Structure 1
Amino acid sequence: MPDNEMDPAASTQMFRAFVAEDRPAAPGEPVRRSTPPVLLIAGVVIAVIVVAVAVLIAVS
């Protein structure tokens, strides 16, 4: 009698191995770099300043 049942644990292990695999980018594909935290924080600060200035102009 053939064993037709799928083992969900095996599928999960294969998926985790696939995700953890460190694959280099293809030659024509640009390398994706994450945004440095300093730039992200600076962007948030600038956005808050712009909103504050807009509120001050709208109130006065």
Structure 2
Amino acid sequence: MWRRESWAPRAACWKCHRNTVLNRLNAFEAYTGLEVQRPYDAAAVIIALEWQGPRP
């Protein structure tokens, strides 16, 4: 489970509600099987996003 207080500033930066961020992270984890709070999984996600390149 995500620590709620750590995602409030991120949600404000993204201009969405904290629960939206948490729901999207939970959906991502359910879809991929990765836990982005684990360093190895977080690194794999970052590498995959960097490899994909910039969004149009």
TM over 0.5: no
Rg larger for: 1
TM normalised by structure 2 equals: 0.33
More helix per residue: 1 or 2? Answer: 2
Greater relative contact order (Cα 8 A, min sep 6): structure 1 or 2?
2
